[in-house]
Chains A and B, each alone.
Chain A
């Protein structure tokens, strides 16, 4: 179950429950038991209901009545050259940190 439909379908999985929510909410909306209940139960239903690989079920839930949140994630048009430069420096640091962890075991 997850929130990045194009990635998961590009990879190819047996069964996928898709929620059009911001990344980080694969199992439902925060502090919303009804949302999480529906998300998890509909995802579980795929175990019995799917008949073929690449079966995707789509949640009927909406994150918000305002869809502008979809414009924000990693949107280059919203970033200045200075912000991009800073992000590049941060990513290089991240790569080095990850390499250090792997090499240290």
Chain B
């Protein structure tokens, strides 16, 4: 298993950057859902991004592309299937070719789970979450906006699939 925190500290220190201070919470909330998952509406949250016109390569094999980053929480219907990419994220480009979006956007598996009765219902829209390095922006702006989106969808549980 990779220890990403020390690995990233060493990686960025070698380039002259100070180590990134990851957010950490002594108190982690825990809420029991209002029933079993088979009776609940579940929202899918993703950090994958819509394709940005004229922003360069964003498909399989694309180098890190900051121009593809987004900074506002968005929602998008599950059908037609959203074309959301991960070129704006520092994933493992050696061992992930980003050719199968199901590895970061598991809509088919979630829909199958709903058909099989494991989920009461999958919310009709997914929620896109920015990958903002500002912890203040994430906590004070993006997280509340994501919560508002969950409530607007009537979601009673949420599954975050970050990349």
Binding site for B on A (CB under 8 A): 1-2, 4-7, 10-14, 20, 22-31, 36-37, 39-41, 43-44, 47-48, 50, 52-54, 63, 69-70, 72-76, 79, 84, 87-88, 90-91, 93-95, 97-98, 101-102
Q: Is the Cβ of A48 less than 8 Å from the Cβ of B37?
A: yes
Q: A24-B91, A28-B103 are in contact. Are A36 and B14 (CB under 8 A)?
A: no
Q: Is the Cβ of A44 less than 8 Å from the Cβ of B103?
A: no
A44 to B160, CA, bound (A): 11
Q: Is the Cβ of B102 less than 8 Å from the Cβ of A27?
A: yes
A4 to B7, CA, bound (A): 11
Residues from chain B with Cβ under 8 Å of A53 in the complex: 28-30
Could you list 30 examples of A-B contacts with CB < 8 Å? A1-B159, A6-B4, A22-B92, A22-B94, A24-B86, A24-B93, A24-B95, A25-B96, A25-B103, A26-B103, A27-B104, A27-B105, A30-B99, A30-B100, A30-B102, A31-B100, A40-B109, A41-B109, A44-B113, A44-B159, A47-B33, A53-B29, A69-B95, A72-B95, A75-B7, A76-B11, A84-B14, A84-B15, A88-B16, A101-B67
| Chain B 14-40: CB-based contact to A (< 8 A → 1; otherwise 0) | 111100001111101111010011001
Q: Is the Cβ of A44 less than 8 Å from the Cβ of B1?
A: no
Residues from chain A with Cβ under 8 Å of B113 in the complex: 40-41, 44
Q: Is the Cβ of A73 less than 8 Å from the Cβ of B92?
A: yes
Q: Is the Cβ of A13 less than 8 Å from the Cβ of B28?
A: yes
